Amino acid sequence: MAVFEAIPWTFDVDSIHFWIHYGFVILGFVLAVVSMVVQCMKPAPYGRHQQSHDSWGPMINQRLGHIVSDFIPGVILFILVYFLYGSEDARFGYTNQTFLWLWLLHYIHRGIIHPLLMRYSQKEVSLGITLGGLFPNLIFSFVCSDWIGSAVYADNYFYDPRFILGIILFVVGYIINKWADAKLRRLRNQGDNQGYHIPYGGLFEVISCPNYFGEMLEWTGWALGTWSLAGCVWLLFGCSTFIPRSKHNHTWYKEHFEDYPNRRKALIPFVY
């Protein structure tokens, strides 16, 4: 097979499996558009945008909320779908296993390590927010796992520029995302003050939300590397948070800190 084969995989599943997969892809696309519109109008009420009058149901522990919304879909469901619903040809392929480990690397950190380490400003979050994260995460984790568990990539896909560039983008984004989240955690631990401080250093010198920027690179790499509609809708859904929320966070910083550096952008260095 030539290196630049337009479709580098086969998705050889029965018609029920096919329509379950693409049905969820379509649902994911609709969710991403709705999420973008809603979040452009008002930031989701968690963290610095959580108001005392926000009533999205009963309050639950913030750490627990994050573990439920991220670990269950991102790790448990993902592994179950990959190994129980995928095909043998796909799930033991080196390419597919590379994608599996990249995803798990991200979600083991996001779903368990970060929530256990973080000192959140609010001890509780409303159940509605947790479910609002859990529900789409279940859908997108299913669809991404189903893809890499069922699509059989060409043997030489390891040398394909889409795969190589996708992996590079994912790893660079992962490092930026984890570095920025760790920096914010350290900032939170400064002194006795559990509030917010201006972050400085590295990408924080040019953008307000390097953690979102890093994660956006990760999922761009995932979409490119997997060369799939599943990856595209997942990237789109992530952007439906990163694009509006980075702007809301950026505006929040400027309103709360008089000395907030003027040159910073919200999400993309020098651009947005």
Q: Does 196 bind ligand NAP (CB under 6 A)?
A: yes
Instruction: Round to the nearest angstrom and report the end-to-end CA distance of the chain.
Output: 40
Q: Which is nearer to ligand NAP, 99 or 212 (CB)?
A: 212
Candidates 95-103, 144-152, 153-161, 192-200: pick the segment binding ligand NAP (CB under 6 A): 192-200
Binding to ligand NAP, residues 39-98 (CB under 6 A): 47-48
The single residue among 241, 243, 264, 267 that binds ligand NAP, judged by CB under 6 A, is 241
Measured CA to CA, the distance from residue 25 to residue 30 in angstroms comes to 9
Give Cβ neighbours of residue 211 (< 8 Å, ≥ 6 apart).
176, 177, 180, 181, 184
Q: Which is nearer to ligand NAP, 10 or 122 (CB)?
A: 122
- Smallest gap from Cβ 136 to ligand NAP, in A, equals 8
Q: Does 215 bind ligand NAP (CB under 6 A)?
A: yes
Radius of gyration of the chain (CA): 19
Q: Which is nearer to ligand NAP, 73 or 199 (CB)?
A: 199
- Residue 11: exposed, middle, or buried by beta-carbon count in 10 A (0-12, 13-18, 19+)? middle
- The answer to whether residue 121 forms part of the interface with ligand NAP (CB under 6 A) is yes
- In the bound state with ligand NAP, the residue whose beta carbon lies nearer, of 78 and 157, is 78
Beta-strand pair 59-61/152-153 = unpaired
Binder among 39, 95, 141, 177 for ligand NAP (CB under 6 A): 177
Kindly indicate which of the ranges 8-16, 23-31, 91-99, 191-199 contains the residues binding ligand NAP, using the contact rule CB under 6 A: 191-199
Q: By CB under 6 A, is residue 188 in contact with ligand NAP?
A: yes
Q: Can you tell me whether residue 60 is helix, strand or coil? A: strand
For ligand NAP, how many residues bind (rule: CB under 6 A)?
Answer: 21
Q: Among the residues of the chain, which ranges form H helices?
A: 15-41, 62-66, 78-80, 88-91, 94-108, 114-117, 127-150, 161-188, 210-226, 229-256
CB of 79 to ligand NAP, least distance (A): 18
Closest CA to 215 of 242, 250, 197, 243: 242
CB of 232 to ligand NAP, least distance (A): 14
Among 181, 203, 204, 250, binds ligand NAP (CB under 6 A): 181
Indicate whether 254 belongs to the interface with ligand NAP (CB under 6 A): no
Name beta bridge partners: 9: 153
- In this structure, is the dihedral angle defined by the CA atoms of residues 211, 104, 145 and 24, taken in order, positive or negative? negative
Helix (H) or strand (E) holding 9: strand 9-10
Q: How far is the CB of 83 from ligand NAP (least distance, A)?
A: 23
- Binding residues for ligand NAP, per CB under 6 A? 47-48, 118, 120-122, 177, 181, 184, 187-188, 196-197, 199, 209, 211-212, 215, 238, 241, 249
